[in-house]
Amino acid sequence: MTSSELPVEPEPVEPDPVDRVADAVVRVPGVTGLHAGSYGEVATYLPGRRVAGVRQRDGITEVHVTVAMGTAILEAATQVRTAVEAVTGDEVHVVVEDVSPA
């Protein structure tokens, strides 16, 4: 096998900042997922896909979430805000769109 025939390892791909935001949000206790809004209008569009529940513009990150029933909503929203601020450094707006069964 010559050096030109060796398999090429793909370069590691840095996750998009929006993916990092989404990952941070769903790790917050009590958050069951991201929510795209009543009409699916809350999303960030990336090449070939969209990330529902996260919208970024002009230094503001808006996050829409669903929380589990019994979750302290204000506490969960505060934890989401803190988690997203740590990732983006942006001002963060959190909207709790829905409550799901625990």
The domain ranges of the chain are: 16-100
The Cα-based distances of 41 to 35, 72, 83 in angstroms read 10, 26, 23
The whole-number pLDDT of residue 3 equals 59
Residue pLDDT, tens place only, 27-80: 999 999 999 999 999 999 999 999 999 999 999 999 999 999 999 999 999 999
Q: CATH for 16-100? A: 3.30.70.1350
The whole-number pLDDT of residue 2 equals 58
The pLDDT confidence band at residue 7, using thresholds 50, 70 and 90, is confident
The whole-number pLDDT of residue 5 equals 73
